[in-house]
Amino acid sequence: MGMVINQFFINISIIFLLMSLTFYVMRTVLPIQPSSPLFVRFWFGVSNGLTAILLTLNAIELGDARIDLRLIPIALSATYAGPFGAVVTLALIFIGRMTLHGMSAPFVDSILMFVVLYIFSLLLSRVPMHRSRGYTVYVGFGALLVLIRVTGSVDAMVFVNVFIPYFLMLSLGAWLCYWGAKKLETHLWMFLLHTHRATVDELTGLPNRYRTLEQMNDLEMSGKPWTLLVIDVDHFKQLNDTYGHLAGDAALRHIGQTLERHCPPGGFVGRYGGEEFLLVIEGCEQAKEVAESLVETVRHTTFECQGEVIPMTVSIGAAVAGHEPSMVVFERADEALYDAKRNGRDQVRFA
């Protein structure tokens, strides 16, 4: 009894481990669902297929019988990735079974189970159903197929000693794995959401101050030459007072999108705060041309609000990074920015 329980939890641990790795690797494409991109559903099916093969290799021994819990990854794949995910998982199980056991494996039975489970997943995908209920139906249907398969082929004693423990372990394992998958998916989704909110400016969609300074620090540590542009929207308070804060927000989005579109390859742009943006250029050879081009581009890019064309310009302070810390470079660029504003705005000044 103790050995069976030990094998059961080894199997559950295998499922949890591969499921955790799968969700973590796919964390940027969550939630995984039947409408997810094809490559997402494919790799989710592959992961569950590999899990099922490992479960087969680590089958639980009940007397002379060997049982496995591969119905769980099949149900997970069908529930999350739909019929396509299910067929990928089933195909991998079939290939693994033929590879491990050759033609001595029950070939016809495997093909029949493959077809029946796939057709069932197609039919169930057309029925509007909560994911947890769909998962329960998949597990129950798989258990029913196993029951049909063993009925009449084993005596009553073997049935009681093997199928009933199998059904109990399958039910408990299926519940544990679905609960774990749901919690893991929710945790990773919330983590990505909080990471996004902590690093992205909600108004413009650009990296916020924290993320931009972090990128500057990374560039400083790399030892590569780089140039910092501190960009300030001219007369922004006047625009806010005249047209309102909604127009001011739209203007900041407009400037952010313009800077992002014209950011040179290898560089990055972020919002530092208020009407101030930072743009970093790797290298320093083209810095002057890039900065002057940005000033001219903003000047000639039309911004409309409330049916009126509003002229917009920016002032830029630039500093080429030497061996000093990034914040020292920022202070020099910021001083150059104020020099540009004192001298009439709509221009570039280098520190």
**Quick check: 324 pLDDT over 90?**
no
244-256 pLDDT per residue, tens: 888 889 999 999 9
Maximum pairwise Cα distance, the chain: 97
Pick the CATH number of 209-350 from 3.40.50.460, 3.40.50.20, 3.40.50.1110, 3.30.70.270: 3.30.70.270
Is pLDDT above 90 for 117? no
56 CB neighbour count, 10 Å cutoff: 17
- Per-residue pLDDT at 343 exceeds 60: yes
**pLDDT of the residue at 150:** 66
The pLDDT assigned to 158 comes to 67
Lowest mean pLDDT among 50-64, 166-180, 263-277: 50-64
Could you tell me the pTM of the whole model? 0.71
What is the structure's pLDDT at 105? 52
pLDDT tens digits, one per residue of 235-278? 888 888 888 888 889 999 999 999 998 888 888 999 998 899 99
So where are the chain's domains? 2-199, 209-350
Which pLDDT score, from 0 to 100, does residue 155 have? Answer: 67
- Kindly indicate the confidence band of residue 172, based on its pLDDT and cuts at 50, 70 and 90: very high
DSSP string across 254-286? HHHHHHHHTPPTT-EEEEEETTEEEEEEESSTT
pLDDT of residue 283: 75
Whether residue 102 has pLDDT greater than 70: no
In CATH, 2-199 is 1.10.1760: yes
Evaluate whether 214 touches 168 at the Cβ level (below 8 Å).
no
Instruction: Give percent of the chain with pLDDT exceeding 70.
Output: 94
Helix, strand, coil share of the chain (percent; to 5): 65, 10, 20
Q: What is the pLDDT of residue 233?
A: 92
53 Cβ contact list (under 8 Å, min separation 6): 92, 93, 96, 100
Q: Return d(Cα 84, Cα 101) in angstroms, integer.
A: 26
Is pLDDT of 51 > 70?
Answer: yes
Of 77, 89, 91, the closest CA to residue 34 belongs to 77
